[in-house]
Chains A and B, each alone.
Chain A
């Protein structure tokens, strides 16, 4: 691979993953907070569903999104199959349950006393969610890190719905598959290293943030 191509692939990976995780955060964090704070009828079912979806096989997600977006599928008119947008849609489906589930755990891990304190101080439902999210931020950030790691290293779904098209939908993971299949193990391994380095950097930033939090907390 040309150096320029490598950068292009890395850049697209980062773009797709970042956009997916950001949208996933917008959907997953409020959902998780709500589930962590309130009880309602059918909550068990919803929670069971989210926990199941946290382990969704990416390939399954890929197939479903593929069928939806296919020219012959219900959303075929949008012409989204084999575009970065399709990859983002599949990634959102993958990361949102993770973000919701881990946010829920983080919120639940916070003692009930915080909820009661905020309620006693007169928090509206929305203010309550914001307060608890802020309080549980450490746990939520690790959820974001987990989601980011999963999204950027995912290959099954993005291969199916993105199509690994050169200069268009080729990301690091699909490029690795291609390099390996064509016998360029070295190139595949190098890209794999870049992938690991990015995951590592990203997690280090997050961990640094969390550690910082904890240190401040102990001062």
Chain B
């Protein structure tokens, strides 16, 4: 027994040490990184649009929400930015909560997120500067075609959600503290409802998975337009157009960034003429309508 105890305590000790070592760098390891694909570099035949020579090989980290990456928006914008500036943008696409955390810890240079309240907090706490509105997109309340709670003719999101709660129709929430999740929670509180019970399913996953689950469970959910349009599911848009279903995106520079110039270049690109035009056109080909509405302005 004595040997076993010694061995056990040795293991426990090394375990604790190991964990201590791991915990110091937890953030990047869990995030997905994306380095722009080869087509991001300018074609050799074209004359380079004269980026500052020092800016070659420059890299900045953009922490953003999964929606911008999953929808393909960044793939449409970033190659153009790199062509103009020569700056490579490494994208870390995570939930808004984690994206902001990445900014607070100085692990990213620029944030592109959509949770106005959290963004403002980020700036007032002194973590961020140069915050701009970039664009907005829409949220939908979607659900099964037979619409068991009967929300199709309801105009406001608040009333639709109240009716779902009243009928105890299944509703899948992302429950992951993301921008979309925060939007959903704000509508519930607007309707003065505390969603609880077996009808209210908190998936703790991303938008795509949550939509999938809603489809499987014939439930309602709140989704952003881009993710919804990119999936082919047996769910229908039941409520849209209400003002509370608009979803503004902000772009913010991280104050502790070591590359403020490059970060600012990226912000200027997103809020500038070319970036705004690209944002407005994005998705028209595939979905017949733009997924994001450009509305850049300094806050």
Contact surface of A with B, Cβ cutoff 8 Å: 70-71, 81-82, 159, 163-168, 170, 174-175, 177-178, 180-185, 188-189, 192-193, 196, 200, 204, 207-208, 211
Residue B124 interfacial (CB < 8 Å):
no
Q: Is the CB of B27 within 8 A of A168?
A: no
> Can you list 12 A-B contacts with CB-CB less than 8 angstroms, sorted by A residue number?
A70-B216, A71-B218, A82-B217, A163-B209, A164-B205, A165-B213, A174-B204, A180-B26, A183-B177, A184-B97, A189-B23, A211-B4
B27 in contact with A185 (CB, 8 Å): yes
Q: Is B57 an interface residue (CB 8 A)?
A: no
Once the chains bind, are A165 and B201 in contact (CB under 8 Å)? yes
Interface residues of chain B, those whose CB is within 8 Å of chain A, are: 3-4, 8, 11-12, 15, 19, 23, 26-27, 30, 94-95, 97-98, 100-101, 175-178, 201-205, 209, 213, 215-218
Min CB gap B280→A, angstroms: 30
Name the distance in Å between A201's Cβ and chain B's nearest Cβ.
Answer: 10
Which of B100, B203, B216 is in CB contact (< 8 Å) with A71? Answer: B216
| Chain B nearest Cβ from A205, distance in angstroms | 11
A181 near B209 with CB under 8 A, answer: no
Within the assembled complex, what's the spacing in Å between the Cα atoms of A110 and B98?
52
What is the distance, in angstroms, from B104's C-beta to the closest C-beta of chain A? 8
Known: A200-B11, A200-B12, A200-B15. A182 touches B176 (CB 8 A): yes
Contacts A178-B176, A181-B176, A208-B4 hold; do A163 and B98 have CB atoms under 8 A apart?
A: no
Q: What CA separation (Å) do A32 and B12 show in the bound complex?
A: 33
Contacts A183-B100, A185-B26 hold; do A196 and B202 have CB atoms under 8 A apart? no
B98 touches A183 (CB 8 A): yes
Q: Which of A70, A163, A166, A181 contacts B97 (CB 8 A)?
A: A181
Classify the interface of chain B: helix, strand, loop or mixed: helix
* Chain B residue, CB-CB nearest to A207: B4
Q: A160 — nearest CB in chain B belongs to which residue?
A: B209
Which residue of the partner chain, among B19, B215, B216, contacts A193 with CB atoms under 8 Å? B19
Interface of A is mostly: helix
Given known A-B contacts A165-B203, A183-B97, A204 and B176 have beta carbons under 8 A apart: no
CB distance from B88 to the nearest CB of A (A): 25
CA distance A189 to B100 in the complex (A): 19
Given that A185-B27, A204-B8 are known contacts, is A165 also in contact with B202, CB under 8 Å in the complex? yes
Complex interface: chain A residues within 8 A of B95 (CB): 181-183
What residues on B are CB-neighbors of A178 within 8 Å? 175-176, 204-205
Indicate if the CB atoms of A166 and B100 lie closer than 8 Å.
Answer: no
Nearest-neighbor residue (CB-CB) of A208 within chain B: B4
**Least Cβ distance of A207 to chain B in Å?**
8
Contact between A166 and B213 (Cβ–Cβ < 8 Å)?
no
A166 touches B202 (CB 8 A): yes
Best-surrounded residue of A181, A207, A208 (most CB of chain B within 10 A): A181
Q: How far is the CB of A38 from chain B (nearest CB, A)?
A: 37
**In the complex, given contacts A163-B205, A183-B98, A192-B19, what are 7 additional A-B residue pairs having Cβ atoms less than 8 angstroms apart?**
A71-B215, A165-B203, A178-B176, A180-B26, A182-B98, A188-B26, A200-B11
